Amino acid sequence: MRSLVATILLCLTFAGPVMAEPASQSVLPNSGETKAPIRIGLTPVFLDNQTTFVNAWRAYLSKRLNRPIEFVQRASYREITDLLRAEKLEFAWICGAPFVRYKNELKLLSVPVYQGKTTYRSYLIVPASDKLTTSIGDLRGKIFAFSDRDSNSGYLVPVYELQNLHQKPGSFFARTFFTWSHRNVVQSVADGLAQAGAVDSYVWDMLAIQSPKLTAQTRVVHASKEHGFPPFVATRNVPPEDVELMRQTLVDMSKDAEGARLLKKLRLDGFVAGNEHLYDSIAAMIHAIAEN
Amino acid sequence: MFRNLSFRYKIPLRASILILFTATVVAGAIMYHAYRNLKEDLLANSETLGRVLAHPLATALLHDDLWHAYEIINSPFSTSGDDNTQPQVIMVLDAQQRVYVSTQPRQFPVLSTPTAPMHELEALHEAVAAPSITSQPIQIPGSDKFFILTPIVSDNVKLATLVTGYSNSMFLPRYYGIARKAIITTLLALAVLLPISWYWAWRMAIPLTQLAKCMGRVGKTLPEIEECQLYISKDEIGQVGTAFAHMLEQLQEKEVLEAQMLHSERLAAVGRLAAGIAHEINNPLGGMLNAISTLKKHGNADPQTTKTVSLLERGLGQIQNIIAALLVEAKLKSHPLTVQDIEDTRTLVLADAHQKSAEVVWENDILETLPLPSTLVRQILINLLLNAIAAIEPRGRVRCHIYRDSVNLFLRVENGGAHIPAERMAYLFEPFSPVREGGYGLGLWVIYQIAQQMQGEIVVQSHPGETSFVVTLPIRERMS
């Protein structure tokens, strides 16, 4: 069960409830006899093997909303983002970066609260055997693992930091690659496949609890400044009352026993409505990189 | 060394060596084939694994998705590990022979050229550089490693090479398991077969060793056949045993014959000597007796002379008698033997028998006249009977049986008196070897000489309680 939780954490790009039929008119629980399922996008890698947890959460949400819930998992952030933009999902748990990038098409649904805050950081990690590296600037000519091109903590932050050193990853590193999930970044650094990587602080912390042997093979060199925690978002065409209902359901999770139990597994304090300005720091980085 | 070993050990040793050799060869063949099969299985599995991995790897390489490639090559290791056909290392080498990705990134880091840690890979590099798009195994000389190279192909273009590295030692534990079973089975079989073969072979050698031991004694002595415990069968050893027994019999017969011949020759020599001396004595003796006779007739001898001459005459007469006895000259011209002649003999000895109160059991089967010189036959019979009567205790019994077959007359005389000791038997028929106290020892000599001259033979058997003499005389149709 612990590992299930860890997996989920990695995918900050959790999509929200997803509707199987894009043409569904309403997500409302009481909208009619024929209730199309709500489709929630999740970045899949961590949840693939967490079927028990996902099923429990789905049952919980389904019961709360009185609607069938369908979780949609894909191999990368981009595929979930694309499904969202194509309105083939109603909700999704995604990363801050794609939310900022497609702000016009998405609405902020809610923000998880982790250790009392709605923020997290990006960790720069190296193998535990590497005792010398102190910053990303020491990693010239190394092999570097990103989590996903659309990830804030796993891509945007290290690229931005390199840019501050007037470097680009393609020339600064000997080789970079994407692992498509934060957990795999940790795994690749632990195995020695990559000599450094960027990972979501929430995921690394969860892994440190779930799989201490794995994280023990890595060393956190540097933690970035805080950024907005990966949010739940909704597509623009979801009726506002449905958005509000889903948001309330998430926010209320901490108020009942079952919801609290599920949150505990995710090691989250709960959900809050959140504020879009939470993601201004990410927007600034995107802007800075685009300008260069 | 081995040549001189007894068959008792040689045969079992040979059987054992044969069994050991067979067991070794069989066990060796099983182990060799097990090794070959395991190796072939391993190669086949490896090539299959290579092909299975190469296909998804092509997609990952086209997308330059290193992590995906890493996951693919790690998939064989995800099944937890008692599968001893798992490769040791899997790597993808790009066209420049650099590591694109490997399952042991610390040893073979991304972008490195696998040289220093894999110096044995000269052959590997050549094979990777070749444009071949079929998979092939590469055995590294002098190393227990081997590699399967599987090209990663997309649209008939070789993108990279998948290298799966194996160690022969990986399947050695399994091989040792098979080998251990083979060896244990072989040892069990040996534990059963060796004692059995040893016992059989030992049994087989026993008749030979007994035969050899018995044959070894021939020469010094003539062993009795019964002592040899010869092996009775129709096989070769049995045949040799039978032939040996036959030979022993013949040797014994020959020995008996030789002893008889020796005996006869000695008697003949003694006879010639006695006859020669007797002749030489006889002539002057005849002259002396004639002279005495003449002196008695014509001489005027005073009483003293007459007495002296008489003494001389008696002494010379006695000498003449002995000489006459020695010079048994068969007077072959005699009338044929009648039944009456035989019966007269009985009458002649009865007087002596009466003196000892002896019983003479008389069985005469002869009912007709035989063409044999009667005087000689009677002389033989009388001498035998008188000897027999003399030999027995008072009130003893003598049996005389006279009978014939178509060619011989048999005179058989038995008595229950003291038997003739073996040491005297050899000299029995020699002159002056008396069988009883007081005799000259010429009776049997005479019998022997007569029988000899009539071409007959004498058989004597003497055991305590019974002594028998059988004289066999050939009957000729016409008396010469």
CB contact under 8 A, B110 and A143: yes
Q: Which residues of A touch B78 (CB under 8 A)?
A: none
Q: Among A21-30, A63-72, A231-240, which stretch is predicted with the lowest mean pLDDT?
A: A21-30
Whether the per-residue pLDDT at A162 is higher than 90: the answer is yes
What per-residue confidence (pLDDT) applies to A215? Answer: 93
- Nearest CA among A258, A9, A236, A6 for reference residue A112: A9
Q: Does A128 touch chain B (CB under 8 A)?
A: no
pLDDT digits (tens, 9 = 90+) for B177-205: 888 888 898 899 999 988 998 888 888 88
DSSP string over B160-220: EEEEEEEEGGGTHHHHHHHHHHHHHHHHHHHHHHHHHHHHHHHHHHHHHHHHHHHHHHBTT
Q: Among A40-44, A139-143, B101-105, which stretch is predicted with the lowest mean pLDDT?
A: A40-44
- Nearest CA among A8, A73, A16 for reference residue A39: A16
Number of Cβ within a 10 Å radius of residue B298: 8
CB contact under 8 A, A143 and B67: no
Q: Which residues of A touch B68 (CB under 8 A)?
A: 180
SS3 label, residue A126: strand
Closest chain A residue to the Cα of B74, Cα to Cα? A191
B323-326's contacts with Cβ under 8 Å and 24+ in sequence apart are: B323/B278, B323/B281, B323/B282, B323/B285, B325/B440, B325/B442, B325/B445, B325/B446, B326/B274, B326/B275, B326/B277, B326/B278, B326/B431, B326/B442, B326/B445
CA distance B104 to chain A (A): 8
Straight-line distance from the first to the last Cα atom of chain A, in angstroms, rounded to the nearest whole number:
44
Whether the per-residue pLDDT at A6 is higher than 50: the answer is no
Amino acid in position B172: L
- Nearest CA among B355, B406, B345, B352 for reference residue B380: B345
Which whole number is the average pLDDT over B61-78? 89
CA distance B105 to chain A (A): 5
- Nearest CA among B386, B378, B377 for reference residue B438: B386
Please give the structure tokens belonging to residue B287: 């002259």
Number of Cβ within a 10 Å radius of residue B92: 28
Residues β-bridged to residue B336 = B373
What per-residue confidence (pLDDT) applies to B140? Answer: 65
Pairwise CA distance, residues B200 & A73, whole Å? 80
| Closest residue to A175, CB basis, from B70, B106, B110 | B110
What per-residue confidence (pLDDT) applies to A196? Answer: 95
Pairwise CA distance, residues B47 & B367, whole Å? 118
Give me chain B's average pLDDT, please: 83
Q: What is the band of B391 on the pLDDT scale with cuts at 50, 70, 90?
A: confident
Please tell me which of A165-169, B283-287, B296-300 the model is most confident about, judged by mean pLDDT: A165-169
Please report, for residues A40, A263, B23, the alpha-carbon distance to residue A256 in angstroms, rounded to integers and kept in the order given: 22, 10, 78
SS3 label, residue B324: helix
- 8-state DSSP, A155: I
Whether the per-residue pLDDT at A32 is higher than 60: the answer is no
> What is the b/e burial string over A179-209, where b = at least 16 CB atoms within 10 angstroms of the residue's CB?
bbbbbbbbbbbbbbbbbbbbbbbbbbbbbbe
CA distance B44 to chain A (A): 29
Q: Does A210 touch chain B (CB under 8 A)?
A: no
What per-residue confidence (pLDDT) applies to A231? Answer: 92
pLDDT digits (tens, 9 = 90+) for B17-69: 999 999 889 888 988 898 888 888 878 888 888 888 888 999 999 989 999 99
Q: Which residues of A touch B111 (CB under 8 A)?
A: 143, 174-175
Whether the per-residue pLDDT at A7 is higher than 60: the answer is no
Q: Does A75 touch chain B (CB under 8 A)?
A: no
pLDDT digits (tens, 9 = 90+) for B396-408: 899 999 999 989 9
Number of Cβ within a 10 Å radius of residue B254: 11
Closest chain A residue to the Cα of B109, Cα to Cα? A193
CA quadruple B88, A125, A10, A292: dihedral positive or negative?
negative
What per-residue confidence (pLDDT) applies to B420? Answer: 83
SS3 label, residue B410: strand
Q: What percent of chain A has pLDDT over 70?
A: 86
What per-residue confidence (pLDDT) applies to B425? Answer: 80
Number of Cβ within a 10 Å radius of residue B162: 27
Q: Among B63-67, B320-324, B361-365, which stretch is predicted with the lowest mean pLDDT?
A: B320-324
| Closest residue to A192, CB basis, from B68, B106, B111 | B106
Q: Among B104-113, B329-338, B380-389, which stretch is predicted with the lowest mean pLDDT?
A: B329-338
CB contact under 8 A, A175 and B67: no
CB contact under 8 A, A191 and B66: no
Q: Which residues of B touch A178 (CB under 8 A)?
A: 65, 67
Task: Write out residues 129-158 of A within 8 Å (CB-CB) of B.
Answer: 143, 145
Contact A194, A145 (CB under 8 A): yes
What per-residue confidence (pLDDT) applies to B50? Answer: 86
Angle A251-A252-A256 from CA coordinates, rounded to 5°: 145
Contact B357, B462 (CB under 8 A): no
Q: Among A189-198, B427-436, B470-479, which stretch is predicted with the lowest mean pLDDT?
A: B427-436
CA distance B110 to chain A (A): 7
Q: In the A/B pair of chains, how many CB contacts fall below 8 A? A: 32
Helix (H) or strand (E) holding A13: none
What per-residue confidence (pLDDT) applies to A165? Answer: 93
Please report, for residues A124, B72, B110, the alpha-carbon distance to residue B77 in angstroms, rounded to integers and kept in the order given: 28, 10, 19
- Nearest CA among A202, A220, A28, A216 for reference residue A118: A202
Closest chain B residue to the Cα of A144, Cα to Cα? B110
CB contact under 8 A, B66 and A177: yes
Whether the per-residue pLDDT at B111 is higher than 60: the answer is yes
Contact B164, B87 (CB under 8 A): yes
Query: What ipTM does this complex have?
Result: 0.81
More confident residue, A127 or A34: A127
Give me chain A's average pLDDT, please: 85
What per-residue confidence (pLDDT) applies to A128? Answer: 94
CB contact under 8 A, A177 and B65: yes
